Amino acid sequence: MRQALLTRFLRYIKIDTQSKASNTRSPSSDSQLEFAGILKQELEQLGFERVELSGLGYLTASVPKTVDGVPCIGFIAHLDTAPDFSGANITPQIIEDYDGEDILLGDSDLLSTEQFPSLLNYVGQTLITTDGTTLLGGDDKAGIAEIITALAHLIEHPEIPHGEIRLCFTPDEEIGRGADHFDVSGFGAQWAYTIDGGELGELEYENFNAATAVIRAKGNNCHPGTAYGVMVNAQTMAARFHAKMPLQDTPEGSKDYDGFFHLVNMQGQTEEAELTYLIRDFDIDIFEQRKRWLTERVNSYNADLVVGSLEIEITDSYFNMKEQIIPHPHVVDIAKEAITSQGITPLVKPIRGGTDGARLSYMDLPCPNIFTGGHNFHGKHEYICVESMEKAVGVILAICTLTCEKYLNR
């Protein structure tokens, strides 16, 4: 399976499928639909059943059951790569029998063990890196390659007992829209797993509660030569507002279960300016407090203004999947046992972000997240370990067989 897995992955990352937040249609880039079409043909050739590609970019397929009385489960990955860094013309480097030294990316960049000590976990193994000019695309083409490789093995070996297995490859996960048009009832699984995590052993079923706050400053423009007593610079208002935000309550000042406010965009002119913040917290009560606090700050700022004003609009994005997973402990227990069966200690940790699984869990499809084997997603220092990818394939297969064992032995 190793060669099939590696061949698939290297072929998939050659296709530029970056999503585009500025485009409101689904999928947000034509290349995602083209990639899904290529995968559709591959799945049909491999013998998958019920292979369907919707016009909105959702590709689904089934592995038929080999025994009765076992729940239908699913595996999910996303077609798009992040728009944060170039995903075009990816030229991967394959480092076999990694020696634990720094890795040169292309001509000038470096993947250093000092900056990325996780590299030392993979001495003697095979790494795939970028050439320093693009991201790698393991997020989430590694997940796609791992799911297809594992489920193709089940098709090739009908003697392995399992229930019906569903897969879905979604568009636009990286811009938060992966679950927008997901047909949960049509998918038909009782629960599922996103294969979209990072390092070896990761298992995640907690994530941030998330919202976006847009603060708009309203000023007044005029010729600067006659501005005295007339001009109100909205950009200055916005800058002063941000300058009084808590300095350490930010992504770079937080870790583990800490939440934050993250200024992701600021733009404007003299007449109008805009600040966009991400609000994140694992604790739902503190999350709500954060939203109230930011609103109160805007109101307090306005009360001190003589001219000009700020307005705030807060939109919830997704919520902590833990609340939806806890009532279904078998979903996590099976994943833990599957990871352990591959000789790996499960690394249970919260997701400091969100996945399709977070939203799907609130759509009555419990959906924890499992590792792909990659590191440093969304940038030129991304890399992945081939042996970890193989372990991910083993975990997917173990989930299928363990689910069967547990339900047939009841």
Q: Report the number of distinct structural domains present in the chain.
A: 2
Residue 174, annotated as binding a ligand: yes
Taking the C-alpha atoms of residue 387 and residue 192, their distance in angstroms, rounded to an integer, is 24
% of the chain exceeding 90 in pLDDT: 89
User: Residue 294: which domain range?
Assistant: 209-317
Mean pLDDT estimate for the chain? 95
Q: What is the bridge-based pairing of β-strands 127-129 and 202-204? A: unpaired
- Encode pLDDT of 290-343 as tens digits: 999 999 999 999 998 888 899 999 999 889 999 999 999 999 999 999 999 999
What pLDDT does residue 397 have?
A: 98
- Encode pLDDT of 207-241 as tens digits: 999 999 999 999 999 989 988 988 889 999 999 99
Residue 78, annotated as binding a ligand: yes
Asked whether residue 200 falls in the same domain as residue 214, the answer is: no
Number of other CB atoms surrounding residue 309 within 10 Å:
15
Residue 196, annotated as binding a ligand: yes
Contact yes or no for 241/276 (Cβ under 8 A): no
Of 112, 152, 153, 151, which is closest to residue 129 (Cα–Cα)? Answer: 112
DSSP 171: S
Residue 139, annotated as binding a ligand: yes
Asked whether residue 308 falls in the same domain as residue 365, the answer is: no
Asked whether residue 386 falls in the same domain as residue 245, the answer is: no
pTM of the model: 0.90
Phi, psi torsion values for 111, nearest 5 degrees: -105, 95
Asked whether residue 225 falls in the same domain as residue 360, the answer is: no
Of 66, 123, 106, 96, which is closest to residue 6 (Cα–Cα)? Answer: 96
Asked whether residue 91 falls in the same domain as residue 225, the answer is: no
Residue 78 β-bridge partners: 170
Which active-site residues does the annotation give? 80, 173
| CATH classification at residue 360 | 3.40.630.10
Residue 250 β-bridge partners: none
In the chain, helix, strand, coil percent, each to 5? 35, 25, 40
